[in-house]
Amino acid sequence: YTHRDPETHEKVLCDMCPPGTHLVEHCTKLQTTKCQICPDNHYTAVYNKATECVYCNEFCSKLNQRMVEGCTKTHNSRCECLPGHYLNMEVCSPHKACPPGKGVAQTGTAEKNTKCRKCRRGYFSSIRSSTAPCQQHQDCS
């Protein structure tokens, strides 16, 4: 980034601060940019010229949510829904259970709900389940 040297009034090209740090002093014609490591519970994710780091504000406190990765100098905490749940409009909702006659076509994840499909000929499902696919009929002859 460009900055005007306060002594010479010339424009100088300054280096940005790397992720995990913030700007303490702009560069001058004689001195490089001064950066400082972010304090605890603060981060910067990209190269920057910010005078402060961002406060880590993700606490994974929503119902049915867990922390996957804690706050570091370069990123906020990361959360995901507990197993059996998915993120649905900022809420961790239980995966849909497929009714009898339908089986799981796609198992739910922390981001996506279960997808159900009607059992095709020769297959069946007699239970409500968010994990069981249709089963093949047994030939008893």
How is the chain split into domains, by residue range? 1-82, 87-136
**CATH topology for the 1-82 domain:** Tumor Necrosis Factor Receptor, subunit A; domain 2 (2.10.50)
pLDDT digits (tens, 9 = 90+) for 8-22: 999 999 999 999 999
Token output for 89: 């409009």
Task: Mention every residue, 6+ apart, whose C-beta is less than 8 A from residue 137.
Answer: 122, 123, 124
> 87-136: which CATH topology?
Tumor Necrosis Factor Receptor, subunit A; domain 2 (2.10.50)
What is the DSSP track for 38-52?
PPTTEE--SSB--SS
User: What 3-state class would DSSP assign to 125?
Assistant: coil
Task: Give the helix/strand (H/E) hosting 94.
Answer: strand 91-94
According to the model, what pLDDT value does residue 139 have? 82
DSSP bridge partners of 86 = 93
pLDDT at 3 over 90: yes
Structure confidence by residue, pLDDT tens digits, 67-111: 999 999 999 999 999 999 999 999 999 999 999 999 999 999 999
pLDDT at 13: 98
**In the structure encoding, which two tokens stand for residue 85, read together?**
């749940």
Please say if the pLDDT value at position 141 is more than 90: no
Output the pLDDT for position 140. 80
Locus of tokens 């197993």: 83
The pTM score is: 0.73
What confidence score (pLDDT) does residue 36 get? 99
C-beta of residue 5 within 8 angstroms of C-beta of residue 28: yes
Mean of the per-residue pLDDT values for the chain? 97
Predicted pLDDT at 134: 98
C-alpha 79/C-alpha 56 separation (Å) is 12
pLDDT of residue 129 exceeding 80:
yes
Topology match between the domains 1-82 and 87-136: yes
100 token code pair: 């009898």
